[in-house]
Amino acid sequence: MTVEKKGFVLWFSGLSWAGKSTVSEGVFELLKEKLEKLELLDGDIVRSWLTKDLGFSREDRQKNLERVTFVAKMLSRNDVGVISAFISPYKQDRHFVKNNVTNFIEVYVNAPLETCESRDVKWLYAKARTGEIKNFTGVSDPYEAPENADIELNTDKETPEESIEKVISYLKKEGFM
């Protein structure tokens, strides 16, 4: 009999409009019926409550992730499954999260910049290209792609359902459900 692992942090990372929220919310909807303890931390929601005082400079992004890491750490060490969706563009910051939470699982939501721009209904990329938005990841600020993510989703080639199934399959294989 396999013993189910308890707390974990699924860390979805990728460019704006790559599909992080779509897939993470889909995974959350499937898991909330199966796991007793589960929380969803989405970048847009967290920024409107926990980190609304921060901007998008490198320093503010680091502070944002430090706060989120603290929350994820508290939850995961108490056997809560945490699903988080943050651009988290810097390898150093993702490494910090990995070293501070229980059972870190890196999910790289990989979509080409052109695909992300074509999905952008808020026109953020266009505003970044004209200089209206500063420090925009993928345009005026880098995204350092994970080299060895636990899961890589190619959302330009996969349906959201296929991406969700990849994550669920990984969690089953690794004993998290």
3-state SS class at 120? coil
Q: Evaluate whether residue 164 is within a structural domain.
A: yes
Q: Evaluate whether residue 137 is within a structural domain.
A: no
The pLDDT mean for the chain works out to: 91
Q: Evaluate whether residue 128 is within a structural domain.
A: no
Higher pLDDT, 121 or 50: 121
Look up the domain containing 72 and give its range.
Answer: 8-111+145-173
Domain tally, the chain:
1
Q: Catalytic site residues?
A: 88
pLDDT score of 11: 97
Is the overall model pTM greater than 0.75, yes or no? yes
Q: Evaluate whether residue 167 is within a structural domain.
A: yes
pLDDT score of 1: 41
Q: Which of 16, 12, 14, 17 is nearest to 27 (CA)?
A: 12
Q: Evaluate whether residue 22 is within a structural domain.
A: yes
CATH code: domain of residue 49: 3.40.50.300
Q: Evaluate whether residue 1 is within a structural domain.
A: no
β-pairing, 104-110 with 151-154?
parallel
Contact 108, 144 (CB under 8 A): no
Percent of the chain with pLDDT over 70: 97
pLDDT in tens, 136-166: 999 999 999 999 999 999 999 999 999 999 9
Q: Evaluate whether residue 2 is within a structural domain.
A: no
Q: Evaluate whether residue 155 is within a structural domain.
A: yes
Phi, psi of 66 (to 5 degrees): -65, -45
Least confident among 49-53, 67-71, 79-83, 86-90: 49-53
Q: Which residues contact 155 (CB under 8 A, 6 or more apart)?
A: 14, 18, 19, 22, 23, 109, 110, 111, 115, 163
